[in-house]
Structure 1
Amino acid sequence: TPVFVSFFLALQGLAAAPAPGLLQGGLGWFQDLSASDPYYVLPLLVTASTWMVLELGAETGVATPGGGAVRQLLRLLPLLFLPFILHFPTV
C-alpha cells in the first residue's frame, strides 16, 4: 500500500499545480483534469465498479465463520467512500 499512497499523493500534487496538459487533456465532459467531475459520473462509476468487484470477490468468503458480517461491511464500504471521492480531481 505505500506504493499506492505515494501514487495518490503524487497525482494529487500534480493536480494542485495545474500543468498545461491537465487543463486541456480530458475527454468528453471533463476537459480539465485538475478539476472534479461536475456531473459526478466518474465518482459514481468508481463506486459502482468497486462495489461490483467486492461483491464478486466476497463470494469466496461466504463459507467462513463471520463471513456474513464481513460481506455486509464490504457492501457498505464503497457507499461510505463516495462522499470523500466526489470532489477529487479527475486525474
Structure 2
Amino acid sequence: MKLTITNEAAKWYIEEMGLVPGDSIKFFGKVYGPHGGFSFAIAKEEPTNPLMLITEEGVNFYVEQFDEWFFNDKEVNIKMRADGYEPEYEVIVK
C-alpha cells in the first residue's frame, strides 16, 4: 500500500475544507450505490491507528489500519486534475 498527495492537491483540500495545520483527513473505502460497489471517501477525523500517514502543509492525510482491506494492494496517488478544478485519484493495483 502506498499513498501520495501532491502539494497542490493538499492545498485544494485545505482551502475547500477550511483545514488548519494539525488537522487530519482520513481516506477510506465505502460502499457506494445500489449495486454494492466501492469508492473512495474522505473525512476530517483524527487518526487512531494509521496504516499510512503523510503530512503536507501541516495537515495529515492518512489511511487507518482498519481500512487496509481496501488499500492493501493499491498505490493511490492524489494530484490535481489537468484543468485544476479538483483532485483526482490515480489508483494502481499491485
TM-score interval, smaller chain: under 0.3
TM-score by length of 2: 0.25
